Structure 1
Amino acid sequence: MAGFVQIIEYRTSKPDEIKALMDDYSAKREAEGEGPAPVRGITCADRDESGRYFAIVEFASYEDAMANSRRADTTEFSAQMMALCDGPGKFYNLDLTEEMNYR
């Protein structure tokens, strides 16, 4: 099974600004339609710890994820997002080993 997931754990007091930044980045990437891009992405807020969030981004492969990371627009987006965070983010790089669908 191919697949790669990146989880970005971050803290922010500006979640609405980060959401707007993510929405803008996604819209621009979708409009361009070129180059490697995530397959899916979700953002989660920690119910137990206010201000703590997780962005979970799935790619078709590790190679696609690394090519996406090297893009200038991704680098710019990441810098802008981290500027809105309350401290550095923590990144988890995970190979997808199993997928379960319950529908």
Structure 2
Amino acid sequence: MTFMQIIEYETDRPDELQPLFDEWAAATEGRRTVTRDTHTRNRENPAHFVEIVEFPSYEAAMLNNDLPETQHIAAELQALCTMGPRFMNLDVISDEPM
């Protein structure tokens, strides 16, 4: 079953986000279990961001979470946040193209 993690946060330092995510991607190449990662920004509040991260399963997400590089980047992200991050862990019940 596909598993999604939603990460919601606000920051007044958005220019520092992409280099942080690029660092994580390079450091976890060949070991991460993320199958898709979508970065979004709220049009009405440009300081508000939502990451939509897809994994093949909850277990795969937990393996990814346990990577030292993920823990490091999570701490760095938290330091950049003015609110959050807030995590939502979601089992995908259905996924249908419309």
TM over 0.5: yes
The unaligned stretches of length 5 or more in structure 1 are: none
The equivalent of 2:88 in structure 1 is: 92
RMSD, matched Cα: 1.2
1:32-89 CA deviation, whole Å, 9 max, x = no partner?
Answer: x13x420000110001222000011000000000111111111111001111111321
Runs of 4+ in 1 over 2 A off after TM superposition: none
Q: TM-score, normalised by structure 1?
A: 0.88
1:66 to 62, 65, 72: 62
Q: Per residue, is there more strand in 1 or in 2?
A: 2
Identity within the alignment, % = 37
The equivalent of 2:44 in structure 1 is: 48
Paired residues in the alignment total 98
Q: TM-score, normalised by structure 2?
A: 0.92
